[in-house]
Amino acid sequence: MTPRVKPLTLAWWILPSLLCIALHWLAFRAWFRADDFAWLGLTPHVHSFHDLLAALFEPRAQGTIRPWSERAFFMAGGTLFGLNALPYRIVIFATEFAALGLMAWIGRRLTGSPTAGFLAAIFWMVNSSSMEPLGWACVYNQVMCAFFLLLAFYFLLHYIDTGRRRYEVYQWIAFTLGFGALELNVVYPAIAAGYTLLCARKHFRRTLPLFAVSAIYAVVHSIAAPLPKTGDYAMHFDGSMFRTLGVLWTWTVGPTYRTTSLDLPAWVLPLAIGLLTVALLGLVALPSQTGIAPFFLLWFPVTIGPVLPLRDHVSEYYGYIPAIGLCWLGAWGVARAWNSGMAPRIAAVALSFVYLFLQTPHLLAATKWNYNLTVRTRNLVEGVAGAHELHPNQSILLYGMDAELFWNAMHDYPFRLLGIDNVYLAPGVEKNNASDPGWDGVQEFILPGPAVNRGLSQNELVVYDVRGPQLHNMTTAYAAMPRSNELPLRIDAGDPLIAGLLGPEWYKPDVDHRWMPKRATLRLAGPAVGGRNLHLQGNCTGEQLRPGDLQVTVSIEGTTLPAATIHNSSFDLEFPLPAAAVGKSELRIAIEVSRVYRPPQDTRDLGLAFGVIEIR
């Protein structure tokens, strides 16, 4: 290697990664948000080897099983580094750099052009669908999946080139490990088969056993975690898949959500996306001896196919892995045009600029949005930690929360990671832009008005304004504000602050639950509309169940409802509310259990332990 070649080679490998970190610098500096906290919350529940296996492999979050990219990643990170985001970012970017290197190598190998390999890596890294995989830790699964898919394919190419069996073994290892990153890995056999069919047909048959592994994985996965039939993650195998395909194509060729931070006439984006689409599809139609262009295009439907049935949950990062094929295709087109005369060369450069013009401003704006969101999240979480240090014996009420901050900084219980349980939202907060889906699940976090009043008068509550970058203690000002004293529809009986809504029969709370004796009373608001039920979630002792099932009777305003039966020590009972309960500002509810148990060395007769009591 001559001295001149060496720096070029070095630059060829390093420049995409350097450009990546420059463009995604705010992603590299981002903190945690939203689902990150749910995954970080796994570690405290691991006390044994069995717990570890469960934490790594039990289906969670829409039935996903991603032991490396989510479970091990966050559990190891949380154990070693707590909420220091830097080590997580280093791992994410290191994986991305490796994937960029693989992509460039594969691009060069498939096209025979170092320029095409280099450009493909640049195009991919600029694609705005990479914002969340690099900027949001819980989307690391995409980066790791891309790495495993590319690694397995890299070994396949090595095997084809050298005929050495060990590369085929390495391919199998990378492919199998990829299942621990993301379910999407299941498509790898189609990539391998597609490539060999189009470009290396004599190896096609050797890719077929890969399908068996994917099939076994799909069957086992669907047994362990059946596909959701309802909700956002329900799969719809119908015409909506074509619409989703169209949406994700435009989000991949153009900026995600087809938006840009630039002030452009409305026709510019569709026109630019249309031009790039025509150019990419035109490249496939060009005469070629290698059949590589159809393979590049094939990569897109193969890797996007598994998410097409997700009609109601189209995420901006779904184009991240499918974009790889289009980036190879585009880069190959540019390299080919460069050697085909002045007109194709100008056209290729112009189209490359159109692509960069579509992607880069949106990528930078989205990265900044994500970064700012993590800064807000960090300010809140660390501010609450500071407030808790000052007021360790008081609960914390947060005032001025908005839906975006709630969803990212509260919904997934980040405070529990710090050992802080009693953090609530001020009542009425959800009425601020109530239709925002970011408020989903907010009721669980709102402290009822009567509990707020009691907490303030008992000096058990401090109130912080979260609207600025720094938390402001506003307890006195909040105490002087007119506040609602409306009864809630939901209480957590284990919460010490809601004691005022419970009758005198209840025992004091035990950590996160509260026992009642044989009979106990409480107050809740009546529902605004009919058809609602009273839900009782809790536990009883095994000793109570030894003689047989327990009967639970509920009476509301003196009307006794049909009894429910408890078969297991953990229960979730449902009592249809009488029509007379609708619209009542206060319902007096009595709960009675048929049998109690007095443990040795306990003076209490234990009836039932609650849990959440809720009308919904």
CA torsion sign for 262, 265, 268, 269 is positive
Closer to another protein at the Cβ: 106 or 304? Answer: 106
CB of 472 to another protein, least distance (A): 4
1 touches another protein (CB under 8 A)? no
Supply 489's token pair: 């529809």
The residues near 276 (Cβ < 8 Å, ≥ 6 apart) are: 253, 254, 330, 351, 354, 355, 358
Residue ranges in 96-135 that form contacts with another protein under rule CB under 8 A = 97-98, 100-102, 105
Taking the complex as a whole, the smallest distance from the CB of residue 123 to another protein amounts, in Å, to 18
Interacting stretch for another protein, rule CB under 8 A, among 8-16, 251-259, 303-311, 540-548? 8-16
Pick from 538, 497, 489, 498: which is nearest to 515 by CA?
538
Identify the three-state secondary structure at position 547: coil
x/- letters, 340..379, toward another protein (CB under 8 A): ---------------------------------------x
Gap between the terminal Cα atoms of the chain: 73
Smallest distance, Å, CB 449 to another protein?
A: 12
Q: Which of 2, 289, 393, 603 binds another protein (CB under 8 A)?
A: 393
Residue 315 interacts with another protein (CB under 8 A): yes or no: no
Q: Which two tokens stand for residue 592?
A: 């009675």
Interface of this chain with another protein, residues 81 to 100, rule: CB under 8 A: 81-84, 86-88, 90-91, 93-94, 97-98, 100
Please say whether the beta carbons of 55 and 107 come within 8 A.
no
Say whether 483 sits in a helix, a strand or coil: coil
Q: Does 603 bind another protein (CB under 8 A)?
A: no
Q: Give me the least distance between CB of 483 and another protein, in Å please.
A: 8
Interatomic CA distance for residues 540 and 153, integer angstroms: 55
How many residues line the site for another protein (CB under 8 A)? 50
Stretch that binds another protein, among 10-18, 53-61, 129-137, 441-449 (CB under 8 A): 10-18
Q: Which of the residues 31 through 60 are near another protein (CB under 8 A)? A: none
CB of 100 to another protein, least distance (A): 8
Q: How far is the CB of 456 from another protein (least distance, A)?
A: 7
Instruction: Specify the residue, 419 or 531, whose C-beta has the smaller distance to another protein.
Output: 419
SS3 category, 507: coil
Question: Smallest distance, Å, CB 470 to another protein?
Answer: 6
Reference 369, options 1, 61, 26; nearest CA is 26
Rounded to a whole number of angstroms, the minimum distance from the CB of residue 88 to another protein is 8
DSSP code at position 527:
P
Residue 239: partners with Cβ closer than 8 Å, 6 or more residues away: none
**Is residue 470 a contact residue for another protein (CB under 8 A)?**
yes
| Rounded distance between C-alpha atoms, residue 209 and residue 111, angstroms | 27
CB of 77 to another protein, least distance (A): 9
Closest to another protein by CB, 442 vs 456, is 456
Q: Could you say whether residue 390 binds another protein (CB under 8 A)?
A: yes
Q: Does 11 bind another protein (CB under 8 A)?
A: no
For another protein, which residue of 116, 174, 446, 471 counts as binding (CB under 8 A)? 471
Q: Reduced to 3 states, what is the DSSP secondary structure of residue 446?
A: strand
For residues 199 and 201, give the distance between their C-alpha atoms in angstroms, rounded to a whole number: 6
DSSP bridge pairs for 615? 534
Half-sphere exposure of residue 210: CA atoms within 13 angstroms, side-chain side: 33
3-state secondary structure of 45: helix
Residue window 396-435: x/- pattern of binding to another protein, with contact defined by CB under 8 A: ---------------------xx-----------------
Smallest distance from the beta carbon of 580 to another protein, in angstroms? 29
Structural element, H or E, at residue 212 = helix 204-224
Residues numbered 136 to 165 that lie near another protein (CB under 8 A) are: none
Candidate segments 75-83, 161-169, 431-439, 507-515, binder of another protein by CB under 8 A: 75-83
CB of 462 to another protein, least distance (A): 9
Give dist(CA 159, CA 535) in Å, integer.
60
Residue 379's SS3 state is: helix
Contact code string over 473-492 relative to another protein, x by CB under 8 A: xxxx--xx------------
13 lines the binding site for another protein (CB under 8 A): yes
The dihedrals phi and psi of 238, each to the nearest 5 degrees, come to: -150, -165
Which of 200, 292, 348, 381 is the binder for another protein (CB under 8 A)?
381
Closest separation between CB of residue 383 and another protein, Å? Answer: 5
Query: In one letter, which amino acid is 414?
Result: P
Nearer to another protein among residue 110 and residue 348 (C-beta): 110
Closest CA to 245 of 181, 319, 355, 180: 319
Nearer to another protein, 419 or 547 (CB): 419
Nearer to another protein, 202 or 508 (CB): 508
Q: Which residue has the tokens 């970064």?
A: 371
Coil vs helix vs strand at 572: strand
Q: How far apart are CA 387 and CA 141, in angstroms?
A: 34
For residue 445, give every residue at least 6 positions away whose Cβ sits within 8 Å of its Cβ, in sequence order, or none.
406, 410, 423, 424, 425
Residue of 145, 283, 366, 387 interacting with another protein (CB under 8 A):
387
**CB closer to another protein out of 27 and 556:** 27
386 binds another protein (CB under 8 A): yes
Contact 537, 612 (CB under 8 A): yes
Residue 539 contacts residue 569 (beta carbons within 8 Å): yes
* Least separation in angstroms between CB 197 and another protein: 28
Nearest of 111, 69, 463, 170 to residue 295 by alpha carbon = 111
The angle at the Cα of 249, spanning 142 to 350, to the nearest 5 degrees, equals 105
CB burial string 539-554: b at 16+ within 10 A, e below: bbbeebbeeeebebbb
> CB 28 → another protein: shortest distance, Å?
10
By rule CB under 8 A, what string of x and - marks binding of each residue 441-460 to another protein? Answer: ------------x--xxxxx
Q: Which is nearer to another protein, 468 or 599 (CB)?
A: 468
Residues that bind another protein in the complex, under the rule CB under 8 A:
10, 13-14, 17, 80-84, 86-88, 90-91, 93-94, 97-98, 100-102, 105, 379, 381-383, 385-387, 389-390, 393, 417-418, 453, 456-460, 464, 470-476, 479-480
